[in-house]
Structure 1
Amino acid sequence: MTKVNREIVVSEALDLLDEVGLDTVSTRRLAKRLGVEQPSLYWYFRTKKDLLAAMAEAAMAPHAAAPLPTPDDDWRDWFLDNMRSFRRTLLMRRDGARLHAGSTPANDLDRIRRKMDFLVTSGVPERDAQMAMLAAGRFTVGSVLEEQADADSGDGSDPPADMPVIDHESAFEAGLTLILDGLVHRAAIRAASLSANEGFSTGLR
């Protein structure tokens, strides 16, 4: 019998996820995998929802361990790299996007604040930075959700001749660039406004 603790339960649950998919993950299957009685899992997680939340947090570990931005970083390059890291992490697990969707990153709030502070310090309006991070995050989850759904539904047959073949990575990069372009435009407007106000104030002296 496997020696069980909270970390082992989560690790085995993620491996089970990779094998059978999110819809088939159950505490019964997990208990059998661990060689324990199903009720014993409630010692670590009171509900399946609690287990899924812990799985989502653990699955995000690679992205959570990514370096935070530094003052020397170009915020535009960082914005792209941050979302690419997020996408790669979601793709590491079967149904990773579905597992993550709706989860609350309670242990990641400090990192989120530091990322936001970096954008604002770099000249991005705070409200625009918040909305861009939210939009890009949801876009990334949605993109991976579609990509993983396509992978799961593939039966090996060729798509209809009139249906375009989607390159998921290229589509993700194109959409992410559009979000960034909008944010760059908003930041430029703010910089121009601040410059104009500063010039006006100087002229009054």
Structure 2
Amino acid sequence: MNRETVIAQALDLLDEVGLDAISTRQLARRLDVEQPSLYWHFRNKKELLSAMAETAMAPHATAPLPAPGQDWREWFLDNTRSFRRTLLMRRDGARLHSGSGPGPADLDRIARKMAFLTASGLPEKDAQMAMLAASRFTVGSVLEEQADTDLSTARPANIPTIDHQAAFEAGLALILDGLAHRAEHAQESTRTLPDPDRIN
């Protein structure tokens, strides 16, 4: 038994029973080991959940970074959609992710994404806030979608079914339109600034 095996089995258990029902006792039984054996790899359940969250995000964390000259709008949409798809890959994926923080590799990728956006002409502060807004919007959307899946059988007949993907795309478009508007405004402001060499 190694760390990777423990994480893989823990994620499979997550898919079967959900985040609330996961316990180190269940995981040990699944691995056919004594519960204290898990503490060779993880000091506590919180550390295990953090490792699970990091592994669960691998499909998004290893996605190609933006290329120079790529359309930033297209990339922004693709990046956010990739994040959503990854969260949806695991039961309670959004809840698992929401309590985790970025590691060194994540911070490096975020810095490179930000450098791409600013090189594309976006104001740095606006790009930062748009990335944060898109991330939190996506987590919130998936939280609602995964909760709705669990509660769908109990929904009254007169309550309409929500098209979660359509709602996500509509919200994402609003974030993108807002960022594009701020970028255009910043570029216009730069163009209308007086040339200091021409001021007498």
Per the shorter chain, which TM-score range? over 0.9
Residue equivalent to 2:140? 142
Q: 1:23 aligns with which of 20, 24, 29?
A: 20
The number of residue pairs the alignment matches comes to 199
Q: Are 1:100 and 2:97 an aligned pair? A: yes
* Corresponding residue of 1:63: 60
Give the aligned partner of residue 29 of structure 2: 32
| Rounded Cα–Cα distance in structure 1 between residues aligned with 2:155 and 2:76 | 36
Output one character per residue of 1:127-149: Cα deviation in whole Å (capped at 9) or x when no partner: 11111100100000000000000
Q: Which residue of 1 aligns with 2:161?
A: 165
Q: 2:48 aligned with 1:51, yes or no?
A: yes
Shift of 1:152: 1.2
Give the whole-Å Cα distance in 2 for the aligned partners of 1:123 and 1:91.
Answer: 32
Alpha-carbon distance in 2 for matches of 1:200, 1:166: 53
| 3-state SS of paired residue (1:79) | helix
Distance apart, 1:43 and its partner CA:
0.5
SS of residue matched to 2:33: coil
Aligned-pair identity in percent equals 69
Letter in 1 for 2:79: N
What corresponds to 1:200 in structure 2?
195
Which runs of no fewer than 5 residues in structure 1 stay unpaired?
none
- Which residue of 174, 177, 181 corresponds with 1:178? 174
Partner of 1:153: 151
Q: Write the deviation string for residues 22-65 of structure 1: whole angstroms up to 9, x where unpaired.
A: 00111000000000000010000001000000000000000011
1:158 Cα offset (Å): 6.0
Match of 2:116? Answer: 118
User: RMSD of aligned C-alpha atoms?
Assistant: 1.4
Give me the TM-score of the superposition, normalised by structure 1: 0.93
Residue 72 (structure 1) aligned to one of 65, 69, 85: 69
| Matched residue type, 2:161 | V
Q: CA deviation at 1:164?
A: 3.0
Q: Which amino acid aligns with 2:127?
A: A
Q: Distance in 2 between the 1:30 and 1:165 partners? A: 35
What is the CA-CA distance between 1:193 and the residue it aligns to? Answer: 1.0
Unaligned stretches of 5+ in structure 2? none
Q: Which runs of 4 or more aligned residues in structure 1 lie more than 6 Å from their structure 2 counterparts after TM superposition?
A: none
Structure 2 residue matching 1:154: 3-state secondary structure = helix
1:42-90 CA distance string (max 9 Å, x none): 0000010000000000000000111000112100110000000000000
